[in-house]
Amino acid sequence: MGPGWTTGRSLHDAGRLAGIPGVLIHGRFDLGGPADTAWQLARVWPGARLHLVATGHAGGQEMTRRTLEATNRFARLGP
């Protein structure tokens, strides 16, 4: 997540996402998009889950695993 989320109305209006499931998966060592941005969004998005993984911007096995877990969870929720 880039710094654009921390400016303007994005974080201010994130509470409107209540009831919409969300999973934020962020590389702990991503220098281009600091983890605090994802953390700030997770704090104001009711019901969102944040997973910090031990990777950088390029991802890796842990990020892939968390992504698959999230998509499988959403698939089980159904429409």
Tell me: the pLDDT tens digits for 40-70? 999 999 989 999 999 988 889 999 999 999 9
For the ranges 7-16, 25-34, 49-58, 63-72, the lowest mean pLDDT is seen at: 7-16
CA–CA dist 41, 46 (Å, integer): 10
For the ranges 8-12, 33-37, 43-47, 56-60, the lowest mean pLDDT is seen at: 8-12
List the domain range (segments joined by +) for residue 19: 3-77
* Structure token digits, residue 41: 């969004």
Query: Would you state the torsion angle of the CA atoms of residues 21, 25, 31, 36, taken in this order, to the nearest 10 degrees?
Result: 50
The CA-atom distances, in angstroms, between 3 and each of 11, 21, 59 are 11, 22, 19
For the ranges 31-40, 57-66, 67-76, the lowest mean pLDDT is seen at: 31-40
Number of independent structural domains in the chain: 1
